[in-house]
């Protein structure tokens, strides 16, 4: 099987408006071909500053290429207001050839 060239990249933020801003900004910057905002907030439970925190967050799922991942990560680190934002990439191992080619075209430098 060939090395995956397309990735999905997940981040979260604390308001729907911020999620929309991250989604639009990344697509505008061409570091993502598409971004989807989860339909409802999720409840995140995590350890932070020696305590257990609970927060409502919106998930944003970006579609990008492996070649553009570093640019997307750098863009998110700059645009995000969290001190340590969640940025997790998952390879797309199979998918519609036409869709995967579209992701490649939309994120080309």
pLDDT in tens, 42-92: 999 999 999 999 999 999 999 999 999 999 999 999 999 999 999 999 999
pLDDT at 40: 79
pLDDT at 29: 98
Which pair of tokens denotes residue 70? Answer: 């570093």
Q: How far apart, in whole angstroms, are the C-alpha atoms of residue 69 and residue 71? A: 5
Q: What is the pLDDT of residues 32-42, one digit of tens each?
A: 999 999 877 99
Q: What is the pTM of this model?
A: 0.93
Q: Diameter of the chain by CA atoms? A: 47
């Amino acid at each position: 099987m060939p090395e995956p060239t397309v990735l999905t990249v997940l981040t979260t933020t604390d308001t729907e408006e911020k999620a929309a801003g991250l989604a639009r900004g990344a697509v505008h910057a061409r570091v993502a071909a598409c971004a989807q905002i989860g339909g409802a907030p999720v409840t995140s439970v995590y350890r932070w500053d020696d305590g257990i925190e609970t927060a409502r967050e919106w998930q944003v799922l970006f579609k990008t290429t492996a070649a553009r991942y570093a640019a997307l990560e750098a863009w998110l680190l700059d645009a995000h207001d969290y001190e340590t934002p969640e940025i997790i990439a998952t390879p797309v191992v199979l998918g519609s050839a036409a869709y995967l080619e579209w992701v490649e075209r939309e994120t080309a430098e």
